Structure 1
Amino acid sequence: MNLVTILILISIITIVFPIILVVKEWKKTIWFNSSLLLLLIFTLFFLISNFLESIDLSKYLDPYESFFLPVLWSIFLFGNIINLKVIDLHKIQNELRASNQRFRLVTDTIQDMFWLDSAEDERSLFVSPGIKSVFNESLIEDLNPRAHYWINAIRKQDREFYLQQINKNISEGQPYTIEYKIQTKSGKINWILEKGYPIRNEKGQIEVIAGVCSNITDRKLTELSLKKNEEKLRIILSSIGDAVITTDTEGKVEWLNKTAEKITGCSSVDAQDRKLSEICNIISSHDRSVIDPVKEVLKTGEILQFASDTILMNCNGKEYHIADSAAPIKDDHGNTHGVVIVFTDVTPNFNLQQQLIDNKERLELAISGGQLGTWDRDIRSGKVIYNDWWISKLGYSPDEIEPSFTFWKNLIHPDDLPRVLNSLNDHLRGNTQSFETECRLRTKSGNWVWVMAKGRVIMRDVDGKPLRICGTNLDITSIKKYQQQLEHQKERLSLMNQRLLKANKSLDDANNRLKELDHLKNDFISLASHELRTPVTTVLGFAQTLLTPGLIINDTRRNDYLKIIEKEAIRLGKLIDDLLNISAIEKEHSTMNMKCESLNQLVHEAIDSMNPSENQAIHFEDDHKELQVYCNKDQIIQVFIIIIENALRYANDIIVKIMEDTSHSLVSIQDNGPGIPTHLLKVIFEKFYRVQGEPKPGKGSGLGLAIAKDIITAHGGRIWAESTPGQGSTFLFTLKKC
């Protein structure tokens, strides 16, 4: 291989290989320096050879090669220059790539839509993801969509004006700003603010049109609302309950509303062009110093709020406690044209207003003291960041917290976890506007705290997949406890209400019963007075007859009179005994003297003491089985007599039976009388009660069955009646067995 060939290869390697290295991102500087060193060596070699002629090149080169040698040297030098250009070009490409990445990051982050259109062929060069928030449209993935392809979303009535404006400005090479309305796919109307900027090339020709679209719906709605409010304000100021006074910058009154006219005692016409101090003075209640609100506002240029205990003295000398404020009247350029003073007569409720202010301050302090836990989850990496306050709330230190979604998920109570994950996944899929749920989280100590978790996806990719979600945790443990206590209180209140209703019903029943008893008592008093008066009158009458001086009467007649007196005296004694017995039983003054007695014998003794008529019969179905009961013999015989006598008034046939169970003996006294109506079965044992229309009136006092009930109750037993109208009645009572 001759020298020329070697030089050619070196030149090719010097030119080509650096380019490959640059493309492959290898060390460019080392090769470039190496190539430059070879170039210097090669150049020195020829310089030394030509000047010193120490080397005879003719040995190595023929005439053709000698001619080609400078050419190779030029190629070698040109190759290194190319290498230098390639390196610079690659550096520029890297900087451009980084710039594009920064541009993408900005356009992906801002909510507004940034776009680029080609002015030559009306192509859309770029549209930022902000189109979704501005137009509620998905970003079209077409590599070469039509410029301004969102124009179809503009309302038809706005579209023609829109095209005229932008075409005019673009043709003149001027930036433009335009507002228009669009209709989204859901039918919602949004306001859009669009700004466009023609960009020229080196020749001055418009090459690209750049622009920004912003959703200004909220601002426009606010502006429209402001206009409506301004109109309302004009109406309100004329009829408002507050007093309003406007002045010019010299403090001369321009206008008063009706309330101000009433308080100041001066009409708007009379007050016009007069100083404010001529129609009223505003005075501090602390030191009675005069306050000039116009002067104060013009000096500061700001709204002034005066103390709520400020005093207004009108032109007639009358004073009002007022709450007032004053503000400068400014135009759109900030120039002050006057002052508006608004005040309210708070004389009737001054103290109340002060109390409300104190309460408001306490409320604001309580609200500002509220604390929230925050969390920020990167869905792609799975990393979750919590604030220190929430970490400490759970009892952990920052070093003990694993910044992952799994850590948070493991803290959730197992019963709450499925519901929380369903709610979260619904939001991540875009089914809900936000994520909100209540759940229990486990603290480091193992306790559970209730939290209200709220969050929202703040970043999605072009396909709508969530990238980042942030939210807060609010400790609602105390609220949950209060809710549980409230539910418990509700249950208690409900139970108490039910008891109260029952008690009310019982009271109503008792009241009705008292009324009934009062009526029965009155009847009894009337009856008792009659029953007591009748025998007394009879006894007194016959006694007076017998004591009549000079009365001639035979022994037979005298004995008849004495028998009548004896009979009525016995009747009177029995009535008095009944009253005394029932009173003694009720007050537990009677001596029970209870002991074991033969129930069979008691029945026989009671029946033997009875004196039924010829057509009446009393039967005792005795099976000769001796039953022993624990009782007061005389009182139980009295119960038998009371019930049997009561039955003999209505029936001819009486049947007495005795039975037993494990702890009690049961007595049954059955008659064949007309029976007792069902609704009276509960009242026949009450005191003073007598059946209306009984067949043998005057034989009872209405106390017999009441006495029987009190005796049985005192013995620890129970007495009741069973009856079917037309089929007779059965009276039953129980006694304790020995």
Structure 2
Amino acid sequence: MYDLTEQATFKYDFKRYMFEKKHIMLLYDALEDYRYVSSRFIADGLQTNDCCIMATDEYSHDQVLKDLRQLGINHEKHLEDGSLILINVQEHYSAGKGFDPEETLTGWQEFTTQSINKGYDNVRAVGEATFAIGGEGLDKKLIYYENIINEKLFPHYPFMSLCVYNKNSYSNDVLKAAIQSHPMMVYGTEVYKHNIYFVPPGIYFGESEDKSEIDRLLTNVKTNNSLVQHIVKHEEKISTIFNNANDAFFIHSPILEECGFIEVNDVACEMLGYSRSELLQMKVTDISANTDKELEIQFEAFANRKQYLFETEVISKQGHFIPVEISSSTFKLDNKTLVFSAARDLSAQKKAEVDYKTAINATDDGIWDYNLHTGEFKYSERWAEMLGYKQREVPAFGCFFDNNIHPADREKFDTAFKDCLSGKEDKYELEIRLKTKDGSYKWIYTRGRIIEWDKSGQAVRILGAHTDITTRVSMEQAMVQTEKMMSIGGLAAGMAHEINNPLAGILGHAQNLKKRLFGTMPANLKCAEECDVSLDKIQNYLTGRDIPKMLQGIQESGNRAAKIVSNMLSFSRKSDKQYGCYNLVDLLDNTLDLASNDYNLEKHYDFRKIKIIRDYETDIPDIYCDGNEIQQVFLNLLKNGAEAMSGKKYANESPQFTCRAKKDSEAVVIEIEDNGPGMDDETRARIFEPFYTTKEVGKGTGLGLSVSYFIITSHHNGIIEVESTPGEWTRFTTRIPLERAVR
């Protein structure tokens, strides 16, 4: 039994069996059911190149056209071209005088032949034989007609008929005979595809009426018995499948307030620890671990979807929470909508997933799996965490890290990846830089291998792993930089010693020249008198020729060179004369106060207008260090940052320093970060080299950061590093070992 109001029922079941059975009885109580079924029967025919004839009576001419119009049928077109023919039953059969079964049969045969010749696929006829109601002998003619067309019309002609009977207008004998003459029935809007009471024409037109009646009864008995046996076997088979399945089965109402279990299988009882009788007294809400809101959403899905798949948890009799995957679908039983749910226990799968994640996380590697055909990208939690993301923040499609490779590493990665995909190499592995969520880059050791190919040999899936090697690379770079700086420092110190002696001579002689030419010492006056010259006139001449300015220039240049030599010599000297116990936070704050007084029109910046953000941890221990030298380092970093920020144009922000102080298990860490123009990799790699500067000639010696580097690394056994993103920020990090902490 199927409800024709379900669109799928009419489209698939009714239409399919309509073409097979051809002769259909529509039994109705309400005119609305007559109109609903017959209008759709005719509309479907007009949409599929059939010629349709509708006999109107109680279902009037105007009502037919109205219903067809609501179904999207252009009835005027079909009436005009003859594909739709409407006749009035009473007028056509004129109180029954015009009805003759044999003539009517012949008429349908001829009409069908003509229609097929005109290009139609089938002929469809709909109507109710109201002319036979109350007419003497007409009911017998009608039943004879219903049976003779079973024998001589439907098997041989593309003809279908929907014969309409009002249940309240015909006698029981007529209705019984009519039911026996139709292989398919519709009652109201419910479809009965197999009419077990149908009497085939071969039996109906048997040798004698008594024998035919007995044969019909025997046939019905056999048919019913066969159907019952089939149903019993079918039920036994269904019961066996139902109770021996691997999943837990539940049947319940789709209405949350009425969600009691109607049936459950043995697996459901075993999973939850209840007996069948106990579960049949319970509701879905009794075993669900979901909130009321989540249950409302699930039951709304039952009402709006044919099928619904979701994961949840159910609660066993012992109070255990069991993870399950539930596949639910709605179906109809005795015209009542129910929900069939199959629950699969995911406990073992979830445990395996946890074990797998534990094993993966234990390696500290990030695992990824990329499907080249679908674009699906899977990854472990550690993989996302490595780049500063949470799992939900990384797209599930597209090779995410492919778009975040450092431009300098792009070519070597593409080459290695393509060689792997083409089969030239069975795997790839290399070290690259990947952009993190905050815009900085991390060094990653990446490797991958093809694990799946299609039939043509093309790569389908590639599995890989990432290892964060930023610390290792930074240490290697620091070691190289330290060795390089030590070498340069030794060279610089040696050069400084060599330069120092002649420089001292230059400055000494310049001083002596100034004294002997422009001083009024007795020796000067005596020598001038002995030479018979005027000392005043000699001095006037020298002044006129700008000799004093020249001597002053020699002295200033010499002093500047002497300062450079002094800085160079500091590379190789250590002194404990000013060492003491200092708190680096206090030193940094003192330096910020000192720097705030730095305003120079030539430098085009005012330190007081730079925003300072302090982010200090508490309980930072004192460190045994040279306070003056540490402040010199901080001041160099702050002045360099201020000068750099003065050259950047800000749109939605202003110059800003972020100063951080923290400690880890090994060191006290000070970070000074600016939001200036940043620096590229080449500049970052050379920033601590002596005499390296990005400033114009004459505006910097290139020794400030070099001196800072040696103060931290050589004098305090610490580390100073720089990180930067061009156009965005630069961060200098100094680390002073805790072994120098004052305890």
Q: Please, what TM-score do these two structures have when normalized by structure 1?
A: 0.30
Higher RCO structure (Cα 8 Å, ≥6 apart): 2
Q: Tell me the TM-score normalized by structure 2.
A: 0.30
